[in-house]
Structure formats: C-alpha cells, structure tokens
Amino acid sequence: MKSLGVRRHFWMILAWVIAAQGNPAAGLTRERPNVLFIAVDDLNDWEGCLRGHPQVKTPNMDRLAARGTLFTNAHNQCPLCNPSRVSLMTGLRPSSTGVYGLAPGLRDVAALRDHVTLPQTFTRAGYTTYTCGKVYHDGSIAPKDRAAEFQTWGPAPGLSRPARPMARLPEPRHPLMDWGPYPERDEDHADYQIASAAIQALQSAPQDRPFFVACGFRLPHVPCYAPQKWFDLYPEEQLRLPAVLDGDRADTPRFSWYLHWILPEPRLQVLKDFGEWKPLVRAYLASISFMDAQLGRVLEALEATGRSGGTIVVLWSDNGWHLGEKEITGKNTLWDRSTRGPLIFAGPGVSKGERCSRPAELLDIFPTLLELASFPPRPDLEGHSLVPQLKNPKAPRPWPAITTHNHDNHGIRTERWRYIRYADGSEELYDMRKDPREWNNLAGNSRYASVRQDLSRWLPKVNRKPVPGSAHRILTYAPESGEAVWEGKPIGRSAPIPQ
C-alpha cells in the first residue's frame, strides 16, 4: 500500500495548514457551518420518504428529507458494520484498504495508522468535536487512539436484554438474534440515552467555534427491542410482509451463498418453520419508529439552540438488511436490500425538498462535507462530492455506486442496472427499472452482453487481500484451485447450502 503512504504524507502537510488556518484564535472557524452527523445501524429503505415499506412510520426522517435533499439511490461500500464505517471515515474503498471483516479496527491497519479521517479533519480545523453511540464500529478505535478522532467521546451504551430471549429460534443461537417489546420505558433504551447525550452536546457546544457532533443510533440492528407502544403502531394482524419469490436463488450463482455462508442471522425457512417471520418484521418496523423518535428529539434540540440554520445535518445507514428477500435475513450480500439505505443532507448549501436518483455512495459523504465546509479537496479520497446534486438533483453524475464484500466481490449500481461479479467470475445482472426486486438474473442472456461489458469497466482495479488480523465473516477464494474459504474453513464444492 505504498501509494497510500505517499497520499498520507501529502495530506498530513495539508491538514496541518488547514488546522493552522482554522485556529479559533484566527477567527476563521466562526463562519464555517456546524455538522450534525447521524449514523443509523442496519437500516434499509424502510422509511416513509424512501417508500420501502407501505406501513412504516418515520415522521422525523421524512421531515428531515423534506427540508433537505434525499438520495434515493445511495449505497454503502461494504454491507457490514466495520468495513462500511472504515470506508466512510477514511474516504477509501474496502478494496483499497483490505478491511473486509469485523476486525481489525482502523488504527490496527499499518497503512491506515496515520491516515487523517473525517472527524480528525474537523478536529484539526478547530471544530469542537463530539461523538456518542455507535459511529465507529464498537471497539474498533482503541481508547489510546480516541482523542485523535474526536475531542470528546460520550456514552455508547449497548442494548440491555431481557432475562430470556423472546424470539422462538432453534438453539444454539447468537444472543443478538432476538426481538420483541423490551424494555418497558423509552428512557431505559440505549437509543434514548444516546439521543440524550447528543442533545446535551448540542446544548453545551461553545458559541465561539463550530461543532461537529456525531450521534450513532443502534437500532434497527438486532436485537430489535423497543417498548410495547412502538409495536402497537404495527398490529400483527394487519402487518404486510415483504414480497419474496419462491426459488429466488435458482438463477443466482452458488458463489452468492458464500458471502454469507454460515451466519447467526436465520434463513427465511427457519423463520417460517418457527413462526418468527412476521414477529421479526414487526420488531424491525417498531425499532425503526422508536429510533426515528429519538432522531426527532435530537433535531428538536438542534432547533432549540438557534443554530439549526448554520448546521449541516447528514443522516446515513452503514448497511441495509434482508427480511426474507433472497431467502435470508441480515446483510452480507451485494443486492439492493443489503447495499441501499437512506442518505439525507439538510442545511446551508443544500436544496430543500429534493429527491436525487443519481447513484451515490457513503464514500461521497467525506468530500461533500469538505466542500460544504469550504475545506480544500482531498486528492486521496475515492468518493466524489455530492454538492452539484445538492444544488440541482438532476445534475449529471458519471460514476456508479460500487459495493464490495470480501476480496474481489463487487456490485455496480447505476440508475438502471445492478451488475455483480464474484471472485470466481460468476455474474448477476438486473434491470432495476423493470425488476426492482432483483428476481430475474439477466447475466446469462446474450442480449445484455454489452451492458455487462460496459458496467464491468467500473470494477475496482485495486483489490487488496484481507489485511493481517482480518476476522469474522471473511471469505477468500483461490482462482488456481477454485477453493473458497469461509472464516478459515474450506467450503466443499458440493457442500449443501446451510439452512
């Protein structure tokens, strides 16, 4: 990763200049916008503004979208917590860093040890920086490294759990695989406490310099717990399940299963067998609405400070989530259900009430915030500023959204097409205008050979192997032998699909 070292050296010098120019004593940071940076965990397109589920109730996200610009075709760079967040915070693709799993953390990667991240940029520029909840992946930033990222680290409580699991699932099961009404009071929930911490940070932010406040909500990540009143919004007898196609995987490559070979998230058939499909969907919806209410509390607090007009608000989700589609639950795929989620900008420099269908990436958040805050561009970042689309949602954008999951597996998403190529060379192609649920794989149809060829030119040219210390949900493939290895164990070519 020699090129990263050269880029890092360039940026270290540039960052020093910015930090010096942005010193509050020089009176330059006062005019720069504040940033309220809101992360949501495992949220797909089930928001009112994205119309992903006909019954979902998300009034606060919808209001935020109405006062800003909503990207309706936004995608993560990896459908897994740690690599997705590492990519966003560094501005680099997983295929460039080699970070694909739940470990290692950002600063444990030799080539990233001194890389200037998004929050560091604002800290060095004289901003008051604060984080609470899950912004970086839990535990990925060691205590000794935290002060270099954010000046202040607030609480990041995990979800408490009832004495016994509520979901009826086969044993043994992962403790996170649970859902149901818990706890009794909103105030006892982790997301309520995270919102309260963000509110306190907004209220106490110094008036003589801009702030960067990051707030990371835990829901709707499993366990999907919320107080009973949020479940009451979705009566079970009226609940609408997501549309699924029997035998949907019949036209997908076997390699597509390898990306989520053995995971704690139950397959759809297990949920059906144990009567848990509808309870999970209901809990996911209830969790979204509860989280949305906490978002509303934070946005109201921002308004009460009188600084909302000078604050850029950006809301994003690290990855999506399947709830039966493609016969699975969870993430770890290169289909829209795993890659697509909300991306909303609001505030100064952002058009109001707009919807942009151009492909966007979480990778674009970093350069976009730099431009909105009048920082010089970073030549080492791999995303592209969305400012042209924030001014005019119909502004052209030549780049697709690219998602990578494990080494050399990539999805390319344009306004019309989704193209997937796996490490073994197998492919999928979907016409998202005619087939938004990705039910009909066109990759084997010769009529679309030119489409596949055109989309394949966007596949990353750099595909780094997993970095030392990579662990959890790691898949590798050896083209010479044709052997795929899941978490250190070879997958037999005729091994039955785990159910």
Phi/psi for 287 (5° steps) reads -65, -40
Residue 31: the pLDDT is 83
Write the pLDDT tens digit of every residue in 258-314. 999 999 999 999 999 999 999 999 999 999 999 999 999 999 999 999 999 999 999
Sheet of 475-478, strand order? 475-478, 483-486, 489-491
Catalytic residue among 81, 215, 224, 356: 81
In this structure, how many other beta carbons lie within 10 angstroms of the beta carbon of residue 59?
13
Contact 60, 292 (CB under 8 A): yes
Q: Domain total for the chain? A: 1
Residue 199 lies in a domain: yes
Residue 62 lies in a domain: yes
Residue 457 lies in a domain: no
- State the pairing for strand pair 360-361/401-404: unpaired
User: Is 405 known to be catalytic?
Assistant: no
Q: What is the CATH number of the domain that holds 280?
A: 3.40.720.10
Low-confidence residues of the chain: pLDDT under 50: 1-3, 6-13, 15-28
In this structure, how many other beta carbons lie within 10 angstroms of the beta carbon of residue 462?
13
Task: Give exposure, 284-308, as e/b (b: 16+ Cβ within 10 Å).
Answer: bbbbbbbbbbbbbbbbebbeebebb
Q: Which tokens in the block code for residue 133?
A: 């909840």
Q: How far is the C-alpha of 243 from the C-alpha of 478, rounded, in Å?
A: 36
Residue 197: the pLDDT is 98
Residue 499 lies in a domain: no
Q: Which residue has the tokens 């109201």?
A: 300
User: Is 137 known to be catalytic?
Assistant: yes
Q: How far is the C-alpha of 373 from the C-alpha of 18, rounded, in Å?
A: 12
Residue 303 lies in a domain: yes
Residue 354 lies in a domain: yes
- State the pairing for strand pair 179-181/68-71: unpaired
Catalytic residue among 53, 75, 115, 137: 137
Residue 482 lies in a domain: no
318 contact partners, CB below 8 Å, separation of at least 6:
39, 40, 41, 42, 76, 81, 84, 85, 88, 341, 362
Residue 143 lies in a domain: yes
Q: What is the CA radius of gyration of the chain?
A: 22
- State the pairing for strand pair 401-404/343-346: unpaired
Q: Which residue has the tokens 């959890």?
A: 472
Residue 30: the pLDDT is 56
Residue numbers of the domain that contains 214: 2-402
In this prediction the pTM is 0.95
